[in-house]
Chains A and B, each alone.
Chain A
């Protein structure tokens, strides 16, 4: 997708003015955010499990080459085929070739962020293969022609009313209003698509080196029908999804659902190993695994390596005050919220995505809830430094910072300047002790008053106290 991350500020402004979106975002606070807190609180070992989860991922990243070799050997042993892709274009070509080999006219897809990352749907459509999303949220945004606005709930920005209109427009018939009826209608429409599809494409939450298995996690059961009905199953996954053993997968699975939706376990966790065995009564005849790098091997050993621990639960965005105000689309690309602010610049370049690492108050809640303890604020700070070094932020900000740096490194000058500023602000504040407008801070004073400083500066007060004490 064409990124619009450079326009974050404009996008966020529009989002704030959109009452329907604000209503939907409010639901995250009372829904997933609250549920995560309850689920984490109910499991005494939760904090320890987060440490273990972090350690598993760190161990894998330190041995990623070896685990990839072990994993792919096991996939082939089980009768699957492995296809390595350096970048998005290579991955798209591989998937299209596999679809052509299967004579595929339609493919069903269960939710995959990697497919979004490589822009798979538009590519397949342009090449006469019709992709049908089966995760209900993905199906909704596919009908609406929108990108996902959340890792776990891609259509979380839409209200039930909007879904009613959308289904009415695309499915015809009576306009349904009740949630259960809408889900039932999607079930009926998509059931037919499953049966028609020649190929099923899924992502993977984990790849297990021990057995060559892929693990999918859904609440709907759509991954199982996507890979279980057509003749060919293609799984697309990125290289950092590896875990050593099933035991390691279970540790991370205990963290995943609790962090994402506050469930103790999602309804369906499926471990698939190779294609249909000879004696099986169902299952795909062919199993293909597309392993995508797309810049991840360059993150290994870099300042951003820790981002590769991410298990895509969405907790960081569910707890982010900026995400909860601006919504996912404001971020302008596939990955949104705090994790997106770190990842998007990797994929589309910091030139395009420069507002994202700044779209944070650095309140630290994202890091506080991350199941694998990714220091998201620290990683965003790395991008800010990068930006400053490459002179990507506006001149006013750069000169302002340079000026502040110049003054801050000269204590006498700094004290003089702050003393004068405090005096001036007190004058401006007048009898009410607050300012309605401040030069260069219109954005801040637009929605609130600035309180005028009371009394002397800290250094003046300190000096006085020390003087009185001696």
Chain B
């Protein structure tokens, strides 16, 4: 309805009431701000070296009821996942992002673990995906939708496992978003910033986990970059 659009914009212009000169300046101000996005004040405690960022990320993620495990290399993931499922009395079965990099983990090491690739279906109990970044500030994962990384994997299953390279852990939200911006230009359809498992305080003001999204969240922080493992197929 462009009549509504015109009416709303006309009323705003009238209320703001710029002169011709001011109008040109305002257009320039807005263009400059949108073309060169710059961070505002970023909290100082997020300015850390790599080990500091990894440590803060783990501390913050644990504080919001995520489970965190640090692994030396990607090929340690299958054993860690299998043990985690056993610990929680869950079947050795999961749906995993069709991300080719995940093949390098050598899932066949765990012959009892059944893995399906794709996005999550309503009856999938466990989903595994890859985070494109971790944000130390609040122990937050950044997931970005793509052909290889469907969004529902992190929301439909009751248990979600996310793999994260230690080198992808940034200090602040702005750092991760800038990397995404440089890598992709336009953001993907969905970017999910995930901080701990799903929760609600809507029943009697008491926090309960697993409201709609996952009840459990396991983050596997992998020290060695994916694909650097010596004998892994590429």
**Chain A residues engaging chain B, CB cutoff 8 angstroms:** 24, 27-28, 31, 43-45, 48-49, 52, 56, 62-70, 78, 83-86, 90, 94, 134-137, 140, 153-156, 158-160, 163, 179-180, 182-184, 186-187, 190-191, 195, 209-211, 213, 219-222, 224-225, 228-229, 239, 244-248, 250-251, 253-254, 261, 263-277, 279-283, 291, 293, 297-298, 300-302
Contact = CB atoms under 8 A, between A and B. Distances in A.
Given A44-B44, A224-B151, A267-B198, A281 B8 contact: no
Nearest to B150: A281
Interface stretch (B81-89, B189-197, B226-234): B189-197
A136 B200 contact: yes
B17 A301 contact: yes
Interface string B165-199: 00000001110010001000011111111111111
Contact of A280 (B145, B172, B181, B187): B145
B204 A220 contact: no
A43 B145 contact: no
Contact of A24 (B15, B119, B205, B211): B205
Contacts of B5: 84
B26 A219 contact: no
The 3 tightest CB contacts between A and B, nearest first, are: A221-B213, A160-B204, A301-B15
B138 A264 contact: yes
Interface in B10-53: 11-13, 15-17, 26-27, 29-30, 33-34, 37-41, 43-45
B8 A293 contact: yes
10 contacts: A28-B205, A94-B1, A187-B211, A191-B212, A239-B8, A247-B38, A267-B199, A280-B147, A283-B145, A297-B15
Contacts, number: 261
A64 B13 CA distance: 9
Contacts of B2: 84
Contact of B193 (A43, A186, A268): A268
A62 B202 CA distance: 37
A268 B212 CA distance: 11
Given A264-B138, A280-B189, A180 B37 contact: no
A221 B16 CA distance: 38
A302 B63 CA distance: 44
Interface residues of B, number: 76
Nearest to A277: B189
Contact of A220 (B34, B195, B212): B212
Given A179-B203, A273-B187, A187 B210 contact: yes
B140 interface: yes
Contacts of A27: 204-205
B145 to A, nearest CB: 6
A183 B4 contact: no
Contacts of A253: 173
B16 A84 contact: no
Contacts of A267: 64, 194-199, 213
A156 B8 contact: no
Nearest to B33: A244
A298 B11 CA distance: 7
Contacts of A300: 12, 15-16
A135 B202 contact: yes
B156 interface: yes
A414 B47 CA distance: 63
A179 B194 contact: no
Contacts of A68: 8-9, 12
Nearest to A62: B16
A228 B152 contact: yes
A327 B33 CA distance: 42
